[in-house]
Amino acid sequence: MKGRKTYVADIERELYDQRNPFAYSYKTEKGLTPEIVEEISAQKDEPQWMLDFRLKSLEIYHQLDLPPWGPDLTDLDIANIVTYVKPEVDLKYTWDDIPEDIKRTFDLLGIPKAEHEFLAGVGAQYDSEVVYHSIQKNAAKRGVVYLDMESAVRQYEDLIREYFMSLVPPHDHKFAALHGAVWSGGSFVYVPAGVHLEIPLQSYFRLNAPGAGQFEHTLIIVEPGSNLHFIEGCSAPRYSVNNLHAGCVELFVREGSTLRYSTIENWSRNMYNLNTKRALVEKNGAIEWVSGSFGSKVSMLYPMSVLRGERARADFLGITFAGSGQTLDTGAKVVHAAPYTSSNINSKSISKGGGTAIYRGLIKITKDAHHAKSTVSCESLMLDNESVADTVPVLEIGTDDVDIGHEAKIGRISEESIFYLMSRGIDEDEARAMIVRGFVEPISKELPLEYAVEMNNLVKLELEGTIG
């Protein structure tokens, strides 16, 4: 048995790598100038305040430096990224109206089928613009708003103006500023008080253009006593040039409401995924993050939950799978800013084939957050010694009456567990497969069905007896 290693197959990328010819009705020049920002704004026919906001963000962008911590970003040259690519189609409300090649892409990804079967609403973004948006009549009747961001800026101008980038201000970091300057697309969701939406809404983001950036903005407001499950999926075909994704997600979870935000991120291996996600949770509210990071060349993604009201709660379940050439720096941040708040973080990572998986997190308990409770568990599974697994957590505790536990583990599949299973009559290959499946199970069972299947494919095990 000695010297045998479990070989976990890479995720099947063929499906995502179907690229369409690069067609567009409008795209900006590469790089970043006030003129480009003005052009984007003009293309969208935006109100003046939004243009001013973009230009201000651009200024901030130029003032900020790259973070001195985390993965190396020097290879990412913004001057070579096309920030805005408008596909050759306007926003449609039925799949039939969408041009054949774009529709085929989403068909292959299973989006229309999923909509038909178990979603209350679907948004699909292709490059910089949302090409499809729909919501079930039933949900719309109950006052749920699910719109592409551009339409929302026009139809709910006051609301958007109040909330847009209030939680993630442009001066937060360089890529938040970039987002503020060139954002395009994304979804706006508004759930009125007391509405329990039983079936999820889903937005899918597809970046087809080479050397481009995607900067969608997602803004969700869940009013008191409501319930929403939002699913976000992302993918892109592979190109030899770097692509950039710097989206922004702002979630407002009001008193007593619950929001589950599930993400399966499967960008191609030339993508810099520098996404910012943040939730503000009021009294008795709950945010539940379910996050799978599989793709991209470099990811920096740390969903943050700010527990502002008493007894607010944050849950984070994350899995990261870093293969060859990938540096996935992910984790969760929770700020306990009120008494009796609680958080539970469960992060798992697998690294193989020279991949780097990093858990980077934060638990911050402010001095007023007495009776705060937090449990953090990080587990890293390494499948070979070419790979790297790091854990970089911070616990910042500002008062005494708290209950904080943190655990982290690094290791490989233990020979003892294999031996145990084999002693029960299970053959070695199956034993290894069972252990890896067991490792990811707590997360895969929380994923929506289609994604659970996707993840199970990912951890499809193949064994090789010779590598050692």
Least separation, in Å, of the C-beta of 26 and other proteins? 38
Choice between 56 and 371, CB closer to other proteins: 371
Choice between 135 and 279, CB closer to other proteins: 279
Choice between 397 and 452, CB closer to other proteins: 397
Least separation, in Å, of the C-beta of 373 and other proteins? 9
Residue 340's identity, in one-letter code, is Y
Least separation, in Å, of the C-beta of 249 and other proteins? 18
Choice between 226 and 275, CB closer to other proteins: 275
Least separation, in Å, of the C-beta of 156 and other proteins? 31
Least separation, in Å, of the C-beta of 7 and other proteins? 13
How far does Cα 246 stand from its chain's mean position?
10
Least separation, in Å, of the C-beta of 112 and other proteins? 40
Choice between 358 and 447, CB closer to other proteins: 358
How far does Cα 127 stand from its chain's mean position?
17
Least separation, in Å, of the C-beta of 4 and other proteins? 13
Least separation, in Å, of the C-beta of 380 and other proteins? 7
What is the CA angle 359-361-362, rounded to 5? 165
Taking alpha carbons only, the member of 132, 67, 149 closest to residue 93 is 132
Least separation, in Å, of the C-beta of 248 and other proteins? 17
Choice between 185 and 303, CB closer to other proteins: 303
Choice between 394 and 449, CB closer to other proteins: 394
467 burial via Cβ count (<10 Å: 0-12, 13-18, 19+): exposed
Choice between 125 and 349, CB closer to other proteins: 349
Residues 6+ apart with CB under 8 A from 141: none
Taking alpha carbons only, the member of 303, 103, 134 closest to residue 202 is 134
The Cα 243–Cα 76 span in angstroms is: 9
Choice between 143 and 405, CB closer to other proteins: 405
CB atoms within 10 A of CB 24: 18
Task: Bin 442: left if φ > 0, else alpha if -120 < ψ < 50, else beta.
Answer: alpha
Tokens of 52: 């001013």
The Cα 212–Cα 78 span in angstroms is: 10
What is the CA angle 104-108-114, rounded to 5? 110
Tokens of 359: 């858990």
Length of the chain measured in residues: 468
Tokens of 240: 């030899």
The Cα 408–Cα 404 span in angstroms is: 14
Task: Bin 267: left if φ > 0, else alpha if -120 < ψ < 50, else beta.
Answer: beta
Tokens of 35: 């003129």
According to DSSP, the residues that pair with 232 across neighbouring strands are: 203, 263
Choice between 102 and 383, CB closer to other proteins: 383
Q: Write out the residues near other proteins by the rule CB under 8 A.
A: 67-70, 333, 340, 360, 362, 364, 367, 370-371, 378, 380, 382-385, 387-412
CB atoms within 10 A of CB 392: 15
Least separation, in Å, of the C-beta of 175 and other proteins? 14
